[in-house]
Amino acid sequence: MPSMAQGEHKSFVQNSKPNPKSAFSMRQKIAEHRRSLPIASVEKRLIEEVQKNDILIIVGETGSGKTTQLPQFLYNAGFCREGKMIGITQPRRIAAVTVAKRVAEECEVELGQRVGYSIRFDDTTSSSTRLKYMTDGLLLREALLDPHLTRYSVIIVDEAHDRSVHTDVLLALLKKIQRARSKPVGEKIEFGNMASEVQTKTRDANGPQQNGVLKGCQGRKLSPLKLIIMSASLDARVFSEYFGGAKAVHVQGRQFPVDILYTVHPESDYVDATLVTIFQIHFEEKPGDILVFLTGQDEIESVERLVQERLQNIPEDKRKLLPLAIFSALPSEQQMKVFSPAPTGFRKVILATNIAETSITIPGIRYVIDPGFVKARSYDPSKGMESLDVVPASKAQTLQRSGRAGREGPGKSFRLYPEREFEKLEDSTKPEIKRCNLSNIILQLKALGIDDIVGFDFIDKPSRGAIIKALAELHSLGALADDGKLENPAGYQMSRLPLEPVYSKALILANQFNCLEEMLITVAVLSVESIFYDPREKREEARTSRNHFASVEGDHLTYLSVYRESDEFLEKRKAAGSGNNIDKIMKKWCKENYVNSRSLKHARDIYRQIREHVEQIGFNVSSCGNDMLGFRRCLAASFFLKAAQRQLDGTYRALESGEVVHIHPTSVLFRAKPECVIFNELMQTSKKYIKNLTRIDSLWLSELAPHHFKTAE
């Protein structure tokens, strides 16, 4: 072991001005603490502000109670008259569920009555629901069916600082809807008409009767819509400016003070610095668990190993330190371990990715170690390529991380860089909309009747190049006509499916190729994280299992056989009379076959949902049986935009971008190296890798996508 000597010691300096707004509170024991929440004292004022202002920005730190209390205040003040609802959006499913449950408890109603939540695959709302918690993505979907969101009197967009694509698009849309709802219906409004017109042809069976609603309101005003944007931290000004100088109200939070400490000098090796700091805290600080923010699985696993190694070299009475890893790819049973209290006398050190920044809250944390980096996804529209890079965290992220030390008592945050480096960080993370593929978003906007995408009023405008690229892709897929308007019916059908546009297109084609059943399964599996466990898994049984499913034709057919075999197993068990617990049976099968049960369950949910959708469109779900040649031709026709040809040196050239790429080691075609393939994903990590491929005949491309390959011959 290198000289990670015990004597090594890092000097930290206290930051010059203590963070004034650090007062997190413990997880509130709900009912008894309601009155003591900071927001309780400003109920009257908040209601007045909402009555006076159509748009209100509320800046509230964690622990203010805004998410649980404000909707109740509004309900009591009469904002749900005439059956109207208050919608509260969250960026994450788990938050929508837990908050709704808590509020139902506080209101002493059954979940799904006055208070409910609705997230994909799980809707607890009923006709009596007035406070509806949901994900922002779900509300966007609702807007496709009801372009004025007429059932809502108030919409609260919570955690707007998150700046997810969904939040950004939703805010832009709500701005438009609010304007439309303040005008008499007879007047021409900027969008919605076209969408509702076409809707009569393609509307979901249970969609609201939009035309009827509009007719009934003829000559009258739609009721106005109140908009409340809730955000933590620095970004309030951005939202206020976007909404024409909207009023912003601050609500005090509740957190314990967190001392911020910086290193005196920059650290050249943050893994090493992390290790030193962990032991320094362990030896010198009072009891309390440590939370370390690292960038990924590999890093976490190596720090875990290093901590274990080092523990062997210190006196036995000081070894009471328990390292635990948490990241999203970790099976949930192992994730749960970080939540159980450490054995008596032990100190936990949680090695986490960003998952611990917002998604989960671990009790007992008093110390945070923040090396100041994050792994971020970015997208290069010109090459159609994603990449994952380690980049410096933003100020907002860094504050959020430090706050994790002050939820249960005063804490300390150790930043592994000097204070002057903090000042150089970006204020906040680049909004996702500026670093992702826009084809899906643009398809949604087009379906809402918004045709001028370049001129659309985004909070942060995506680059022109990214917009053009997405428009071109949608045009190639047949979703957009030459004039840039949505094709009827294909474009509308595609916008209704909760899938990447290219997968929706694949379903439309599969309907024509008579292999819709196979394609439904394939795109469901492609829509989830890998259904195979960690491919680094070298155990013999795991390899055998993967080989058992592998198809020489490629990954798509491999996924098909995994899904089908799991399904057959389930059917057999059901027929044998033991079909009571589907989840349990599937888990057992997954374990035996080294398949990720979380992913497979998710794929099955998606399959069920999109099957319903295509049946509503009027497609007949038929199977091509054993005609895998026909199915591969359909895959080629669907994914022609992403084809690659083998070169003499064994590398591949992506036909669209001209990039030199490599087959990803997780592909079943990694060794076979067929002459021509279609693929679904192009990602740069250590190399430019293509993932999820199927072997095709290169002649199929010009035959099946002549509009795209006419010059190729």
> Which residues bind to DNA, rule: CB under 7 A?
91-94, 119-120, 135, 137-138, 141, 164, 166, 295-298, 327-329, 353-355, 359, 374-377, 388, 440, 498-500, 527, 529-530, 534-536, 665-666, 670, 685-687, 689
Neighbours of 561 (CB within 10 A): 14
State the maximum Cα–Cα separation within the chain, in Å, rounded to a whole number: 83
In terms of CB distance, is 610 or 624 closer to DNA? 610
CB of 627 to DNA, least distance (A): 29
**Whose structure tokens read 């170690």?**
369
- Peptide bond preceding 489 in cis form (omega within 30 of 0): yes
In terms of CB distance, is 460 or 568 closer to DNA? 460
In terms of CB distance, is 527 or 657 closer to DNA? 527
CB of 122 to DNA, least distance (A): 8
Query: Which residues are within 8 A (CB) of 677 and not within 5 positions of it... i.e. 6 or more apart?
Result: 554, 643, 644, 652, 663, 669, 690, 693, 694, 695, 696
Q: Which two tokens stand for residue 185?
A: 């219906």
CB of 257 to DNA, least distance (A): 28
CA distances (Å), origin 257, targets 17, 365, 420: 12, 13, 22
Nearest C-alpha neighbor of 192 from the set 225, 151, 146: 146
In terms of CB distance, is 435 or 632 closer to DNA? 435
Burial category of 558 from C-beta neighbours within 10 Å (exposed 0-12, middle 13-18, buried 19 and up): buried
The type of residue at 165 is: V
In terms of CB distance, is 19 or 359 closer to DNA? 359
CA distances (Å), origin 627, targets 624, 630, 632, 701: 6, 5, 9, 19
CA distance 353 to 626: 44
Query: Which residues are within 8 A (CB) of 700 and not within 5 positions of it... i.e. 6 or more apart?
Result: 633, 636, 637
CB of 119 to DNA, least distance (A): 4
3-state SS, 312-381, equals CCCCHHHCCEEEEEECCCCCHHHHHHHHCCCCCCCEEEEEECHHHCCCCCCCCEEEEEECCEEEEEEEEC
Q: At what angle do helices 165-181 and 439-447 cross, to 10 degrees?
A: 20
In terms of CB distance, is 343 or 650 closer to DNA? 650
Q: Hey, is 287 helix, strand or coil?
A: coil
CB of 621 to DNA, least distance (A): 20
CB of 265 to DNA, least distance (A): 28
CA distance 138 to 118: 8
- How many H-runs (helices) and E-runs (strands) does the chain carry? 26, 22
CB of 527 to DNA, least distance (A): 6
In terms of CB distance, is 101 or 141 closer to DNA? 141
In terms of CB distance, is 578 or 685 closer to DNA? 685
In terms of CB distance, is 182 or 544 closer to DNA? 544
CB of 569 to DNA, least distance (A): 25
3-state SS, 384-413, equals CEEEEEEEECCHHHHHHHHHCCCCCCCEEE
Phi/psi region, residue 108 (left: phi>0; alpha: psi -120 to 50; beta: rest), is left
Q: Hey, is 530 helix, strand or coil?
A: coil
Tell me the CA end-to-end span of the chain in Å, nearest whole number. Answer: 61
In terms of CB distance, is 72 or 199 closer to DNA? 199
In terms of CB distance, is 42 or 369 closer to DNA? 369
The type of residue at 367 is: Y
CB of 90 to DNA, least distance (A): 8
In terms of CB distance, is 19 or 530 closer to DNA? 530
The type of residue at 645 is: Q
Q: Hey, is 680 helix, strand or coil?
A: strand
Strand pairing category for 115-119 and 152-157 = unpaired
CB of 259 to DNA, least distance (A): 27
CB of 681 to DNA, least distance (A): 11
CB of 320 to DNA, least distance (A): 28
In terms of CB distance, is 243 or 503 closer to DNA? 503
In terms of CB distance, is 107 or 329 closer to DNA? 329
CB of 244 to DNA, least distance (A): 28
CB of 256 to DNA, least distance (A): 26
Helix, strand, coil percent values for the chain (each to nearest 5): 45, 20, 40
